[in-house]
Homo-oligomer: A and B are copies of this chain.
């Protein structure tokens, strides 16, 4: 495999980059945002095979298989895992250039000791090796997390969740290893088909009837308090254009009451409700000094075929540059100025400059989050870090998150990020823009200490 994925050279183009990376590579991973399956961690049973470990829960991979003409039967369908894996290997060289090509190679090498090139010829051999190695005690979920040097991680959870898996797991480990994150999107998306059920679940969970806006806030506060008791330190919100957080409460109350009777609000009414409740979410976070994370700009489930056949989180998501995100975001930030910690995650590169200037303008508590989703690649991370350097301060960057639904990603994504960060900083040292000691200081803060401080981890 020549220099492919060489530990020494991978993504590090200068001596300064290599030096910086050598100083941060051993730091523990702190992951403030991911989609961990906490039940899976709690159960801690061995993975059956490589498909289950590497692809079964990862719709990035599914989309690439589709792009290479693999039929749905061998992606989300009924083919057995081995056939799916072999199909994956049959097209895997055609993934080259996409970071997934590097992630899966890295995962197999670093966590399973399988160092073969993934290609049609090696498919069977790697499959067999995977079956063997995954039987081992150390390859259970918790063993892999230890191997990946994960110190703490924050999952993403519905406000109605009872967090029993978090509780059981952390109790067993004797520490706050997996913290929940409060994600109330479904309560906000009043036009979505599952809004009514989401509110009903909340009513059931807290044995309360929710009739009015006040009722809703009261129950949300109970949930927020409950999450806090379980170590939660942040909320998370997925939006296309952020609501303002300044909607009129009286009006929102009317709209909520109406929607509860089954009458669908019109778009303006829905926006008013969202503008109001987004402010309530922020207020709850502000009171507890939580971090308010906003994922901005995703347009989800636009491919009707996929959405109808398979449902949410299966692919068919895009970004759109054409969104006026700045005015509503500024309203929110003005309302909570200096009273709310905020992290802004950017999906469309066309929004990056706007968000960077907004982060710069609103002082120390408003920060840019790591390059998100389709930007979470060497190119996307590099471009974002270069831009943050220019406009804002790297010292204010909120740091890396895995954002993954797949356990092994917690390692390989951080590895890729740390190497790219080292390369960007190393490039600046090489060009005489900062001393190497300062670069190492920044790298360490971004990768570990400042993230812990900001998120209260």
Q: Interface of A with B (CB < 8 Å)?
A: 1-6, 9-13, 63-64, 66-69, 93-99, 101-102, 117, 299, 302-305, 315-327, 330, 333-334, 337-338, 348-351, 353-354, 356-358, 360-364, 374-375, 377-380, 386-396, 425, 428-436, 438-439, 441-442
**Is the pair B360, A67 in contact by a Cβ cutoff of 8 Å?**
yes
List 5 A–B pairs whose Cβ atoms lie within 8 Å, in order of A's numbering.
Answer: A63-B360, A96-B395, A96-B438, A305-B338, A321-B321
Q: In whole angstroms, what is the CA distance A4 to B437 when docked? A: 11
Q: Which chain B positions have C-beta within 8 A of A354?
A: 318-322, 348, 350
Q: In whole angstroms, what is the CA distance A441 to B429 when docked? A: 30
Question: Least Cβ distance of A272 to chain B in Å?
Answer: 22
Of the candidates B353, B378, B436, the one whose C-beta lies within 8 Å of that of A349 is B353
Q: In whole angstroms, what is the CA distance A238 to B395 when docked? A: 31
Q: Which chain B positions have C-beta within 8 A of A325?
A: 322
Q: Which chain B positions have C-beta within 8 A of A3?
A: 429-430, 432
Q: In whole angstroms, what is the CA distance A360 to B327 when docked? A: 30
What is the count of identical protomers in the complex? 3
**Is the pair A434, B326 in contact by a Cβ cutoff of 8 Å?**
no
A302-B330, A316-B362, A320-B354 are known; give 19 further A-B pairs, CB within 8 A: A4-B429, A9-B431, A10-B433, A11-B431, A13-B431, A67-B395, A68-B393, A98-B389, A98-B390, A98-B392, A303-B333, A303-B334, A318-B357, A319-B353, A321-B353, A322-B322, A348-B353, A379-B386, A379-B390
**Is the pair A374, B391 in contact by a Cβ cutoff of 8 Å?**
yes
Given A67-B360, A68-B364, A441-B93, A433:B102 Cβ within 8 A: yes
Of the candidates B69, B117, B363, the one whose C-beta lies within 8 Å of that of A364 is B69
**Is the pair A67, B393 in contact by a Cβ cutoff of 8 Å?**
yes
**Is the pair A101, B321 in contact by a Cβ cutoff of 8 Å?**
no
Q: Which chain B positions have C-beta within 8 A of A302?
A: 330, 334, 358, 361
**Is the pair B363, A5 in contact by a Cβ cutoff of 8 Å?**
no
Question: Least Cβ distance of A178 to chain B in Å?
Answer: 30
**Is the pair B96, A434 in contact by a Cβ cutoff of 8 Å?**
yes
**Is the pair A304, B337 in contact by a Cβ cutoff of 8 Å?**
yes
**Is the pair B318, A97 in contact by a Cβ cutoff of 8 Å?**
no
A431's nearest neighbour on chain B, judged by CB, is B11
Q: In whole angstroms, what is the CA distance A13 to B430 when docked? A: 8
Given A320-B354, A322-B323, A353-B350, A97:B4 Cβ within 8 A: no
Given A304-B334, A353-B348, A317:B63 Cβ within 8 A: no
**Is the pair B67, A363 in contact by a Cβ cutoff of 8 Å?**
yes
